Structure 1
Amino acid sequence: THRTGRSLRRLASSASQEVTEQTRIAKELQQPVTTGRVIAVTSIRGGVGKSTVAALLGRTFNHYRHDPVLTLEADAALGTLPVRMGAESVRWSCGDLARILTPAMQLTDVTGYLAPVSDGGWLLPASQGRVGAPLDVRTYRKVTLALRRYFAVTVVDCETLPGEVARTAMDTAHARVVVAPTTVEGVGGTRQVLDWLAGLPHSALATTVVALTANSPDMILDVKAATAHLKEPGVTVVVLPYDRHLAGGGPIRTDLLGRATQDAALRLAAEAMHRAVRVR
């Protein structure tokens, strides 16, 4: 009987801690902002889940926030972001919108050029489903600065580093998410990115989170050792576990994600938002 009582108390304590943590994360995600916050997502190479992470962040903010959220693709190399976000049709690209944006435009004017996302929020692709001219820094700056007036949070799916737009996005964003695959090369390269960020002004490293992704159910690298190595410069590392739904490609449905993946996505979004709001 005593053992049963202890077990029940442990279960109750665990459930209480879980509710407390979920409440903390929800508050973090719903923080009010005075001006639009930009969260840039990049990686050292393609195929490691960069666009998937950007889509997860966009969908998480769409779900938790009651103000407008934009997910913006800043990679013209036919990325997977529109597919991952479940956009049914794409009419305008980042470059198209840059040519017609004016200060007099209202939110309703702007959203007419964006793709609506099924669970709320908006998407602005980098291209119209075909290989286009590379997005240049001037266009990127014009679009992100203008759209910050309308959207509380903008998640930017950047090109891979060391691309010029990616470097600009990482330098100017309020928070940064660097996606690292759980491989020796990926962890080593990401550590070099963190060292580069440490040399930038405006506390770039202090506003960076690393998403350590597992693209295979069979892990070769020790996740604890990889996490410890990436944490050394002083950043937070969130491990996104292998997930069958994400591995299958196609539109992301949060209800089909594994519980561990859902929890990791929420934590990653909360960590990024905390850092984005902290910047003045």
Structure 2
Amino acid sequence: MVQKRVKPSSEPAAVVDGVEPTSDEGLASALPASLTIEVELPAPVHEQPEDEQAVALVEAGVDPAVVVAPVVTGEPGTTVIELDHDDLHAVAVTPEIEPEAVVEVPPLPVAEGVYSRRDMLDGVHHGPESAAMLTADRLIEPRRRSRPAPEGAWPALVYGATFHLVNLGDSRRVRERKQIDARIATAFEGGARFVPVLTRKGGVGKTTITTLLGMALASVRDDRVIAIDANPDRGTLSERVARQTRATVRDVVNRAASIQGFTDFSTLVSRDETRLDILASDTDPMLSEAFDENDYNVVADLAARYYSIVLTDCGTGIVHSVMRATLQRADSLVIVSGGSVDEARLASETLTWLEANGYGDLVRDAVVAINTATQGTNLVKLEEIEAHFASRVREIVRIPYDEQLAAGSVISWKDLRPLTRQAARELAALVAEGMPVRRGV
């Protein structure tokens, strides 16, 4: 509503309320002191600029009369317009969105021994230390660490005379002994290792070499070593040690289903002073030929459960089925040769047969043990025999003559000559070095 006030004018006025004024003064006197005229004007129309239209939230206008109260609706993440009825202006309001619940993932536990004291000092690990961090390097003063007492006559004398102040270390002989011990004690992973001892000729000392090899291994190693007599023609391996049982490979085959642990198996073997276990062959000539490939596999499977090294004293029948089963499991080979011409030739023919039947890799990695206690050794050139085998195998070892071995009876490891023990230990070290440390390598 617009109000307009009109003042008196000197111009002629129109008739008001049916009274015509006679003059200007009379007209002025006839008019009221003030005059109010009411005029209805159209509502102002707001034209929205183009820049505002480009960012407008709605295409149609909003009637303020319709909106009588603030309205807040919408899903989380949308914008709602509130219109104030009195001030006729719009306010954009974004509703508060409740934050989603954050799932906390707990950190992985720290296993004991996976961090060091340096990690603790560097701030990598915080918390209580594990027992694995209490190492000797950390707790013992370097200057107060005492070296072990030396071995050997002269180093031990100086060590004692100086009240343990002067330690010359082990003698040369002791150092060499410990080096061979370390080679023999090579640790193996992934199951038992099988080492057949074989040749095509009997009487060359194959059983004796098997016994010496087993004693040298068992006297040093911390695990178990067994020698199996797989000779189908009545072997004599069990006669090389003090026999403690009359059980044979046949008993192992018959009782295989009832053997539940090493205690059950140990009742069927004989053990000597070096902790070498020996499993005898059949002594009944009517049953010796019955020990075949399947029987050997039963015995070998049981032995592999409880022993780390399995030596097999093979017979002279190289084409026997037991030989095939033995070679299929072999990780290393020991070929025994005598010191005579025919014994050396038959040992070489054994290598040729193995190469022709697909065992060339075993031949190249084999070790030849030359038993110099056989007849005719003094008449041949052992150097030439060694040179021949050196072109075909990995290593050659001479086993010297020893009266105890020549007797063909029970072998006492401690009563052997030092040179004999040394040769047996060297053979054991070469065999251990030739076998894979991990299965499949």
- Equivalent position SS for 1:41: strand
Contact 1:240/1:264 (8 A) holds in 2: yes
Task: Please name the residue that 1:231 is paired with.
Answer: 390
- Corresponding residue for 1:116? 271
- Deviation per CA, 1:104-140: give whole Å up to 9, x if none: 711112112222334323221111x432322201111
Range that drifts further, 201-210 or 219-228: 201-210
Q: Distance in 2 between matches of 1:259 and 1:141?
A: 37
In structure 1, the partner of 2:361 is: 203
CA distance in 2, matches of 1:206, 1:196: 13
**Number of paired residues?**
265
Change (3 A) 1:119 1:104: closer
Q: Secondary structure at the match of 1:149?
A: helix
Paired residue for 1:89, among 245, 263, 287?
245
Could you tell me which residue of structure 2 aligns to residue 63 of structure 1? 219
User: How far 1:171 moved relative to its partner?
Assistant: 3.9
Structure 1 residue 216, shift from structure 2 partner: 4.2
State the Cα distance separating 1:163 from its structure 2 match: 3.7
Matched residue of 1:148: which SS? helix
Secondary structure at the counterpart of residue 397 of structure 2: strand
Q: Which amino acid aligns with 1:271?
A: L
For structure 2, the residue ranges without an aligned partner over 5 or more in a row are 1-167
Q: Which structure has the bigger radius of gyration?
A: 2
Correspondence for 2:292 among 136, 160, 174: 136
1:1-40 mapped onto 2 (5 Å cutoff): 16=172, 18-34=173-189, 35-40=191-196
Given the superposition, is the C-alpha separation of residues 19 and 277 from structure 1 closer, same or farther in structure 2, using an over 3 Å criterion? Answer: farther
Q: Deviations over 1:185-222 (max 9, x none)?
A: 11112112222333425821233111011124851111
**Unmatched 5+ stretches in structure 1:** 1-11
Query: CA distance change for structure 1 residues 234 and 57 in 2, over 3 Å: closer, same or farther?
Result: closer
The residue matched to 2:396 in structure 1 has which SS?
A: strand
Whole-angstrom distance in 1 between the partners of 2:211 and 2:371 = 14
User: Cα gap change, 1:208/1:115 in structure 2, threshold over 3 Å: closer, same or farther?
Assistant: same
Alpha-carbon distance in 1 for matches of 2:415, 2:392 = 35
Moved over 6 A (4+): none
Which of 209, 212, 217 lines up with 1:53 in the alignment? 209
| Aligned AA (1:255) | K
Separation in 2, partners of 1:93, 1:70? 13
The reply to whether residue 269 of structure 1 matches residue 428 of structure 2 is yes
Report the identity percentage.
24
Q: Residues 60-106 of structure 1, C-alpha deviation per residue, up to 9 Å, x if partnerless? A: 1221122222111101323221111222432x211221232249711
RCO higher in 1 or 2 (8 Å CA, sep ≥ 6)?
1
Q: Summarize deviations over 1:212-261 as a string: whole Å, max 9, x none.
A: 11124851111111100111113311111111111112111122222221
Cα pair 2:332 2:435 within 8 Å, conserved: yes
With structure 1 as the length reference, what TM-score do the two structures score?
0.86
Report the secondary structure of 1:180's partner residue.
strand
Secondary structure in 1 matching 2:210: helix
Give the counterpart letter for 2:174 in structure 1. Answer: V
Contact 1:40 1:155 in 2 (8 A): yes
Structure 2 CA distance for aligned equivalents of residues 225 and 42 of structure 1: 22
Matches within 5 A, 1:139-154: 139-154=295-310
CA-CA distance at 1:40 after TM superposition: 0.8
Structure 2 residue identity aligned to 1:269: A
Higher helix share: 1
Counterpart residue identity of residue 222, structure 2: H
> Which one of 228, 243, 249 corresponds to residue 72 of structure 1?
228
Separation in structure 2 between the aligned mates of residue 212 and residue 192 of structure 1, nearest angstrom: 15
Question: Which of 189, 192, 200 pairs up with 2:346?
Answer: 189
Structure 2 counterpart SS, 1:77: coil
1:179 to 331, 336, 352: 336
In the superposition, relative to structure 1, how do residues 163 and 126 fare at CA in structure 2: closer, same or farther (>3 Å)?
farther
> AA paired with 1:170?
L
Which residue pairs with 2:406 in the alignment? 247
The code of the aligned residue for 1:157 comes to: D
| 8 Å CA contact 2:293, 2:324 repeated in 1 | no
**Separation in structure 1 between the aligned mates of residue 393 and residue 279 of structure 2, nearest angstrom:** 33
Change (3 A) 1:250 1:88: farther
Cα distance in 1 for residues equivalent to 2:434 and 2:309: 12
